[in-house]
């Protein structure tokens, strides 16, 4: 078994209980766990800041350094708590009520189990208004923009749906924060349950590798394994304080995010030549 697979197998056995002591238990497991509060250790160092709302900035961490002789971690950045609470609520709502709806596609379409109004049907089933299984339990991903084909590991020649403006803006903002450019052409939303895992993989099927992949997470904490040496606790963003008299719809979303995890990633698929940008923009605009 190669070193990465061995590390992956080990960490898949770790269970997050859901209390405030989970990071302490993590550190008992591995000295390789990166503590961003101790910048400079384990190759993590603060390189800049980004303003996420008026008067509020967050640090930008880079990885690598003198011990990263093969440059494995060059170009990998982390911005903890990078979204203000309003943006977190907004994106979580979009993930649950819009991004998994047509014309975007989901894993349920691949199974010929098209479900419209999936979030509302989930709420109906939870309220006992339906005997059907909660469809959110079967939802694993939603694809926007160029819809990635998981079977052939390719992108289609034509765009499948429009990338929402807020995801375009999100990708551009964080790419610019680390000195890079990005036109978001494909987005993927992952819907992780408490026991979900994502196997090790490389994002290497795009036509261009000159632009970053921007990944944003909401909800439950998770372990991010990069290579063998970099193990990051991706923390829960406490953006959904539950209030007894709060709005019912928002409370339902808050409850979902407290026990599940949403990951949004955006990327550029094709090279940014003037002619290709113009052509793809017309397709995205429906011309």
Binding site: what residues are annotated? 201, 203
Whose CA is closest to 122, among 193, 188, 186, 18?
A: 193
Q: List CB contacts of 198: < 8 A, sequence separation 6 or more.
A: 190, 192
Residues in binding site for Fe cation: 201, 203
Torsion of CA 205, 206, 207, 210, to 10 degrees: -120
Are the beta carbons of 259 and 218 closer than 8 angstroms?
no
Cα–Cα distance measured from residue 112 to residue 280, given in angstroms and rounded to the nearest whole number: 28
The residue assigned the tokens 């026990």 is 259
Are the beta carbons of 228 and 7 closer than 8 angstroms?
yes
């Amino acid at each position: 078994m190669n070193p990465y697979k061995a590390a992956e197998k080990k960490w898949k056995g770790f269970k997050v209980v859901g209390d405030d002591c989970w990071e302490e238990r993590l550190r008992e497991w591995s000295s390789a766990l990166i503590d961003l509060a101790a910048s400079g250790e384990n190759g993590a160092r603060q390189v800049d800041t980004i303003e996420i709302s008026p008067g509020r900035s967050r640090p930008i961490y880079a990885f690598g350094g003198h011990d990263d002789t093969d440059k494995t971690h060059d170009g990998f950045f982390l911005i903890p708590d990078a979204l203000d609470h309003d943006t977190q609520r907004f994106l979580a709502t979009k993930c649950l009520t819009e991004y998994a709806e047509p014309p975007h596609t989901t894993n349920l379409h691949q199974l010929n189990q098209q479900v419209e109004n999936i979030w509302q049907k989930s709420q109906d089933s939870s309220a006992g208004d339906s005997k059907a299984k909660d469809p959110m339990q079967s939802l694993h991903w939603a694809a926007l923009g160029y819809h990635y084909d998981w079977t052939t590991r390719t992108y289609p020649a034509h765009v499948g749906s429009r990338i929402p403006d807020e995801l375009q803006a999100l990708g551009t903002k964080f790419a610019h924060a680390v000195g890079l450019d990005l036109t978001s052409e494909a987005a993927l939303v992952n819907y992780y349950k408490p026991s979900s895992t994502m196997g090790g993989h490389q994002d290497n099927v795009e036509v261009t590798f000159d632009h970053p992949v921007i990944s944003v997470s909401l909800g439950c904490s998770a372990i991010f394994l990069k290579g063998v040496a970099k193990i990051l606790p991706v923390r829960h963003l406490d953006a959904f304080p539950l209030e007894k008299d709060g709005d019912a719809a928002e409370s339902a979303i808050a409850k979902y995010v407290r026990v599940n995890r949403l990951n949004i990633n955006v990327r550029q698929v094709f090279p940014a030549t003037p002619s290709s940008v113009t052509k793809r923009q017309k397709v995205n605009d429906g011309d």
